[in-house]
Amino acid sequence: MAPNLPLEPWYFVTQCEIDNLISQMPEEITTDDHSRGAAAAAETIRAIYRWSKDPNQGPTPSSETGFHAGFIRDGMDRKDTRARLIAIIEDACAALDRVCGVGAACIIVRGEMNPDYRLMKITPRMVFNNIQVQVSDTIGRNPALARLLSDTINHARNELAVEFAKDWRRRAVSSHYLSSEALLLEPLTPPTPATPPAIPSKDQKASAALQSAHIARRSATPYINRAATSSSAVLPTRSRSHTSSISTVLSVSSSDESESPGPPSLPSVSHSRPRPQALKEARAARQSGKGHMLDSCDAGPSTVTPMRARDQQQPLSSAVLPIYIMELLSAVGGGANLKPIEQIYTKIGRDYQEAAIAELGFNGGTARAIAMLMRG
């Protein structure tokens, strides 16, 4: 058994063991990416079956005790194992949605951060990318749920991820995985007592009624953009040497987006602001197109839908994208490409994001600016 790997039964889910099992399978499985990935997922599920009900494994201990006995100390193996397990969760959410009609929203939180932050107090900005959310289509593509989902994700990023990272540092020290001299250990913030909801006054009720009537009146006459066109792009994904290489195909119809009123806008986050250089490039791209359409450099006619008056008046909303990417898309009139940008952000590796964004019709400067913001 390799060093820094847990004992059985947790060893059976490590990347080292999965690779060993796959190498013993027939050649038609080991040489085909899809078959290899499916085999790895099957062996993983076989290994973890009924873990949640097995009392012999024991619960995860307190932070003073450290990590669970199954913790993988080898950093590369732990990273590959984590990616494989998250992919299984994502597929399970899609299956629940499609065959059972069940909506699913799974929030996954990582405690590990950039080593440069070890002696710094943890802030929401540091752990922004430590939150990964798997959402089924019935929830993620429902405009009526956009604000609720956005609030949940922002709460997880601004509070849950920060407190979890503090706890992770304490576990790392208690488990002798990291030294206390190399980490700043902060106390966890005690929970705030829940306050009873305030009873609205008559004036507040009247104001809310007027606002609801205004929203209903706007929703009753949706704007239809007849100039919208459909575009599809085959986008590459990052592959790992140990796991399967999965090709993601995104096919997005911008005409569907233009016929439905936009969801509520995302709440503004003060610490999430666009980078100055990225905004300069985005403004330059918008000025070169005279504010009407994002042109594609040496790529023929643009596939980006022209910016309409409704996009200028109503902020874009996304439960996936950070607020500073939303502000940049709104500034350059890229609202019609919101859905493919979301899929690029969640499913495409960083090395391929700029090329994938350019495939949508954005010019080189704008694609580079959006890709820079996606990297955080």
Query: Do β-strands 248-253 and 230-235 pair in parallel, antiparallel, or remain unpaired?
Result: antiparallel
Q: What is the mean pLDDT of residues 263-280?
A: 43
* Domain residue limits at 342: 230-374
Decide if 214 is inside a domain.
Answer: no
H or E element that contains 132: strand 131-135
Cβ density class 224-252: b for 16+ within 10 Å, e for less: ebeebbebebebbeeeeebbbeeebebeb
Q: Higher model confidence: residue 310 or residue 168?
A: 168
> Do 322 and 246 share a structural domain?
yes
Measured CA to CA in angstroms, residue 273 lies from 88, 129, 262 at distances of 33, 15, 22
Decide if 107 is inside a domain.
Answer: yes
pLDDT of residue 258: 37
Judged against a pLDDT cut of 90, whether residue 110 lies above it is answered with yes
Q: Is 28 helix (H, G, I), strand (E, B) or coil?
A: helix
CB 350 within 8 A of CB 238: yes
Pick from 165, 182, 199: which residue ends a domain? 182
Sequence-ordered list of residues with C-beta below 8 angstroms from that of 361, at least 6 positions apart, any chain: 231, 294, 296, 299, 302, 303, 304, 337
Decide if 258 is inside a domain.
Answer: yes
Q: Higher model confidence: residue 234 or residue 142?
A: 142
Q: Which of 50-54, 72-76, 307-311 tops mean pLDDT?
A: 72-76
pLDDT of residue 299: 37
pLDDT of residue 313: 43
Report if pTM > 0.85.
Answer: no
Q: What is the pLDDT of residues 40-49, one digit of tens each?
A: 999 999 999 9
Pick from 182, 217, 245: which residue ends a domain? 182
> Do 178 and 49 share a structural domain?
yes
> Do 169 and 45 share a structural domain?
yes
pLDDT of residue 56: 82
> Do 24 and 166 share a structural domain?
yes
HSE-up (13 A, CA, CB side) for residue 248: 19
H or E element that contains 208: helix 202-219
Judged against a pLDDT cut of 70, whether residue 232 lies above it is answered with no
**Cross-strand pairs, 234:** 249
> Do 240 and 174 share a structural domain?
no
Sequence-ordered list of residues with C-beta below 8 angstroms from that of 85, at least 6 positions apart, any chain: 13, 44, 48
Please, which pLDDT band fits residue 293 given cuts at 50, 70 and 90?
very low
Number of domains in the chain: 2
CA angle at 152 for the pair 48 and 124, rounded to the nearest 5°? 90
d(CA 368, CA 192): 42
End-to-end CA gap in the chain: 38
Q: Higher model confidence: residue 209 or residue 169?
A: 169
pLDDT of residue 316: 74
d(CA 305, CA 231): 10
CB 243 within 8 A of CB 80: yes
> Do 241 and 347 share a structural domain?
yes
Please, which pLDDT band fits residue 326 given cuts at 50, 70 and 90?
confident
Q: Higher model confidence: residue 123 or residue 60?
A: 123
Judged against a pLDDT cut of 90, whether residue 250 lies above it is answered with no
Judged against a pLDDT cut of 70, whether residue 240 lies above it is answered with no
Do you find a cis peptide bond into 340, omega within 30 degrees of 0? no
**Cross-strand pairs, 105:** 135
DSSP letter assigned to residue 135: E
Decide if 254 is inside a domain.
Answer: yes
> Do 252 and 159 share a structural domain?
no
d(CA 274, CA 290): 22
Q: What is the pLDDT of residues 174-212, one digit of tens each?
A: 999 999 888 899 998 877 665 555 565 555 555 565 565
d(CA 310, CA 225): 10
d(CA 277, CA 297): 20
d(CA 354, CA 344): 9
H or E element that contains 232: strand 230-235
Q: Which residue type, as a one-letter code, is found at position 48?
A: I
> Do 317 and 169 share a structural domain?
no
Q: What is the pLDDT of residues 76-87, one digit of tens each?
A: 999 999 999 999
Please, which pLDDT band fits residue 338 given cuts at 50, 70 and 90?
confident
> Do 268 and 162 share a structural domain?
no
Judged against a pLDDT cut of 70, whether residue 30 lies above it is answered with yes
Please, which pLDDT band fits residue 272 given cuts at 50, 70 and 90?
very low
- The sign of the torsion formed by the CA atoms of 197, 202, 204, 206 equals positive
> Do 265 and 148 share a structural domain?
no
DSSP letter assigned to residue 347: H
> Do 359 and 238 share a structural domain?
yes
> Do 289 and 152 share a structural domain?
no
CB 358 within 8 A of CB 299: yes
**Residue spans of beta strands (DSSP E) within 53-104:** none
Q: Quote the radius of gyration of the chain (alpha carbons, Å).
A: 23
